[in-house]
Amino acid sequence: MTETLAAPVTGPVTGPVTGPATAPMSAGKPRRGTLRTLLMPLAIDVAAPMACYYLLHGALGTSEVTALAVSGVIPAVRVIAGIVSDRTMNALAGLTLAVNVAGIALSFVTGDARMMIAKDSALSGVISLFMMLTAFTARPVMTQGMRAFITRGNAAREAAWERLANGARFRRAERRFTGIWGAALLADCVARLIGAFTLPVSTMVWLSNVLLIAALAVGLVVAGAFGSGPIMWMINNEVRGNAR
């Protein structure tokens, strides 16, 4: 239905990449507030719009275009509320809002409910291409989130990161992490775009979310194995070596 890439997805994930920085977590169990922060956008952006669509279209008999447009307002309102609350708008929040508004408008203009499904693919596609492009720069976009997850605000781990940051092996792992996430979201984009124009809209309403979750799961596993995993191993070794 709509994209949700919250702090974790680098957590993405995937993560799934947005949201203000929070205080570092301890190495123990995640705090309840942190879990709520991660799960609330997922509930609002995935569960609520899907329930709204099936209620309006399946139970009340409204058209697919109307049901999808109304359900698409829910995540748009969440993004706007976040912008008002934080008094700032990052690029991803702006892109998410613009794609949602454009998808709703285009659906009404064309009368084609499939355009609402396709807009989610467009958002995944843009984000994935941006990720893959930054993977070839000095600052891959996923590095900041990965660093917070690996160092956990620990001074010794932060210092180890700084010492290793310019190493060729470390940099390759950084780039792989962001590149893999970009590839996973690009595959999601292609799969959902094909489904949007070949499968029934009522099927894609739930299948679109399944495909996104599958892409995030693949991103977590593969990026962890070839990106954040090697970096965490290097950080752990560096911390132990420096403590001797």
Distance of alpha carbon 83 from alpha carbon 72, whole angstroms: 17
What's the pTM?
0.72
Distance of alpha carbon 7 from alpha carbon 147, whole angstroms: 12
pLDDT of residue 110: 75
pLDDT of residue 215: 92
Q: What does the angle CA 200 – CA 211 – CA 19 come to, to the nearest 5 degrees?
A: 120
pLDDT of residue 43: 62
Cβ atoms 240, 213 nearer than 8 A:
no
pLDDT of residue 41: 61
Distance of alpha carbon 232 from alpha carbon 227, whole angstroms: 9
Q: What pLDDT, in 10s, does the model give residues 29-49?
A: 444 444 455 556 666 667 777
- Parts of the chain with a pLDDT under 50: 2-35
Tokens for 201?
């809209």
pLDDT of residue 42: 60
What is the 8-class DSSP label of residue 28?
A: S
